[in-house]
Amino acid sequence: MREYRVLEVKMKGMLGFTRFSGDDLQALLNKEAKNGWIFDKHIAGETLLADRDIVMLIFYREAR
């Protein structure tokens, strides 16, 4: 049986400035991997508030 973890990442802040870099993504993926989480997929979208891009990162691991 698997368990899942979903992390919401805001890609843009006010005025369109990027808040999350490639280095930030790499650090987040490595941190989750150290805790046994395996990256599965992402879901991207936008919010209406301040036109921010949102990405949901989905991880899984075998239930303990």
Of residues 11, 5, 55, 10, the one with CA closest to residue 35 = 5
**Residue 19 clears pLDDT 90, i.e. is over it:** no
More confident of the two residues 52 and 3: 3
Instruction: For the full predicted model, state whether its pTM sits above 0.85.
Output: no
Of residues 51, 34, 55, 32, the one with CA closest to residue 43 = 55
pLDDT value of position 54: 82
